[in-house]
A = this chain, B = another copy of it.
Amino acid sequence: MSAENKHFNFYDLVITETTTPKALDKLPPNSITDHMLEIDWTVEKGWGTPQIKPVEPLALDPTSSCLHYATQCFEGLKVFRSRDGKTVRLLRPELNLARLNDSAQRLTLPQFDEQELLKILLKFVSLEARFIKPGSFIYTRPFILGTSTGLGLNATTMAKLIVVLTLMPSLSDKSLKLYSSEPTEAVRAWPTGFGSKKLGANYGPTLKQQLRASADGYDQVLWLYGEQERLVTEAGGSNFMAVLRNKINGNIEIVTCPLDTNLILPGINRRSALEYLRERELDTGVKVLEKRFSIDDLEEAMVEGRLQEAFAIGTAYFVAAVGEIRTPEGKTIHVPVLQTGIVNDLQKHFEDIMYGSKDHPWTVVVLKEK
């Protein structure tokens, strides 16, 4: 094994606890917790010692690659405390860490040992568990930065893996209003691009469209792809699913953009929802289809009374009903929001896993009190 592949190890973790812990009763909505995790990598020595330390500004050389060439990728996952307050859990964190490595590889950033990082992450989260209220969550943001200096666009020689934890305002129950992008003007991703990796480069360039949508009173952009095809891909930073009655056989179908388009992020909640819905296909008769569909298909389904439900699904929005979609032509697709439909069933299923008293194969327990 060459030095650049030398991995970090949970047993080397160094913890320096803060001497000024934050008061929980007056934290602003997006506050960071007390500590951060930082692990440095160099091509000469591989990964260094993992350190948990009080949150401090990153001191970056002004020529660092991540500030100029977007050599940066990230993950987002939530840490949940059960309603009874006794258990703190993560949901399928191993999938997030695998995806972080996948994103890093796309940028030629170094690979890390996912199992060791998971062990460190569990320790880190347990240290900050006081920030998580019963029946609530905080947000975990692992990210990797290229920190090579000198402004050359070259192979990565230095990098940092960092994890911070932040509070997040609780979600509104209101159904979402989506604003379709105009694919002749702007696309989020393209088939031979990098839209299926969680790179910083996929986010900043969407702000302009997002702000236009917000200014018009919409919650998120519904990203369409293809001037002719007008494929429905993602809703802001979330995946998108629609529940439709099939035009020919009348069956109820859940449709979502397939991964092989390379246009969408392989969402972990997307995957969990698909697994859950497919397990129940035989019972419910509701088919789950990863297939291409367009904004015009959705509009037609609405006109013909076949559009049953739609929802955004992702870490930030969890499972959020969509009530309205603006088409590129400015027409409104009204989407039914049901009290007891598939969206509600999914929400309840996930909430039981996240906030319930029983463990589930998807959950990894951080802390459990007697």
> A residues within 8 Å of B by Cβ?
29-30, 32, 36, 55, 57-63, 65-72, 74, 106-108, 139, 141, 143, 145-146, 149-153, 155-156, 162, 164, 166, 183-187, 190, 192-194, 199-208, 210-211, 214, 237
Contacts and interface: CB of A to CB of B under 8 A. Distances in A.
Given A32-B63, A60-B60, A63-B166, A70 B199 contact: yes
Nearest to A143: B68
5 contacts: A36-B62, A67-B143, A153-B207, A186-B193, A201-B201
B62 A57 contact: yes
Contact of A152 (B30, B151, B162, B206): B30
Contacts of A29: 150
Nearest to A60: B58
A187 B183 contact: no
A194 B202 CA distance: 11
Copies in the complex: 2
A61 B67 contact: no
Contacts of A68: 72, 74, 141, 143, 200, 203
Contact of A183 (B141, B162, B192): B192
A316 to B, nearest CB: 9
A200 B145 CA distance: 13
B67 A200 contact: yes
Given A30-B150, A62-B164, A72 B199 contact: no
Contacts of A237: 153
Contacts of A187: 190, 192-193
A60 to B, nearest CB: 5
Among A29, A55, A74, A204, max chain B CB count under 10 A is at A204
A217 B162 CA distance: 34
A71 B67 CA distance: 9
A106 B208 contact: yes
B152 A201 contact: no
A60 B68 CA distance: 14
A67 B166 contact: no
Contacts of A194: 205
Contacts of A210: 153
Nearest to A201: B201
A67 to B, nearest CB: 6
Given A29-B150, A30-B149, 19 more contacts: A57-B59, A57-B61, A58-B62, A66-B67, A67-B67, A67-B145, A68-B141, A69-B207, A70-B202, A70-B205, A106-B205, A107-B204, A108-B211, A139-B151, A155-B207, A183-B192, A187-B192, A187-B193, A199-B204
Nearest to A64: B58
A200 B201 contact: yes
A204 B72 contact: yes
A204 to B, nearest CB: 4
Contacts of A62: 32, 36, 55, 57-58, 162, 164
Contacts of A61: 57-58
Contacts of A57: 59-62
Contacts of A106: 205, 208
Among A67, A187, A206, max chain B CB count under 10 A is at A67
